[in-house]
Amino acid sequence: MPTWIPEADGLHLARTLESGQAFRWRWNPGRDGARVAVGVIGREVLQVEQDARGLCLLSPDTQEARRLLLDYLGCSREPRGVAGIEAALAEDGVLARILPHTRGIAILAQDPWEVLISFIISANNNIPKITQSIERLARAFGEPLGDGAHAFPAPARLAAARPQTLAACLLGYRAPYVRAAARMVADGGLDLAALRLVPFEAARERLLEVPGVGEKVADCILLFGLGRTAAFPVDVWVTRAVERLYFRGRPRTPKQIQAFARARFGPLAGHAQQHLFAYARAYLRVARASELGRQAPKHRPPTPRGHPRGT
């Protein structure tokens, strides 16, 4: 029996799940041509569908699963809901023009440990390969949940992983960083939950000390794993959107873009970033000649010392 989720009114499921925040969802065919989103949250495998009537949880049919989904979609954290946040964003003239094309994107409330590893893997990578690597990690090290699904691996499992097993998960040069980050969490050297409570810049600096975590990756962890919505991750898509839509194509550095975004959007910077990112990917895909020289390389070998900075 489907369980309707009226608290998610205004949320667009596909836009949210396909916005580059999470990598453990797939789409299966559903009723009447609809699509069913199947994903792993914690130790539950959820099936979720959205149609003209709203969002519904198809399985499992339990109160615990319903609560888990509400928390994951950010409904429990944000009393204004998606519509309230978008009303505030629409006070910005540029976002007011963008929102009709991107409406419904929520910031997911994910496990910060899973986000940490996922975004270390994401550096200089693409979404299909990130998804494949994470699924291989889950199959190799995660607890079986039934029907071929696995929970995300615990820190101790990845900390003790053999290098050749990690290599088989297609991590490439990121494999040592995944194991090093896992050891920091497993040994208690990195308390991710505590980073929700410290000042924003202190949390960011602590994340930058983790092997494999650079500027953009740190901001993704802050935003998608720790709920720090003042974070504004800057990649080539966001750079393109901000330069074209706010600066008439004039180049800006990532630090300049971040300073601009935080001053303009304040605690809603992360929400604004998601709409700018989605809009750029859909409508600003053709790069100008001046942008080509500034795009991140598809692959960057690890630095011999220290750790790389994510792009």
Considering only CA atoms, give the Rg of the chain.
19
CA distance to 56, 58, 109, 133, 287, per residue, from 62 (Å): 13, 10, 20, 30, 47
249: region left, alpha or beta (phi > 0 left; psi from -120 to 50 alpha): left
Q: Are strands 35-41 and 25-29 parallel, antiparallel or unpaired?
A: antiparallel
Chain centroid, CA 310 distance in Å: 14
Q: What angle do CA 281, 307, 177 make, to 5 degrees?
A: 80
Look up residue 175 and give its amino acid: A
216 is annotated as an active-site residue: yes
What are the catalytic residues? 216
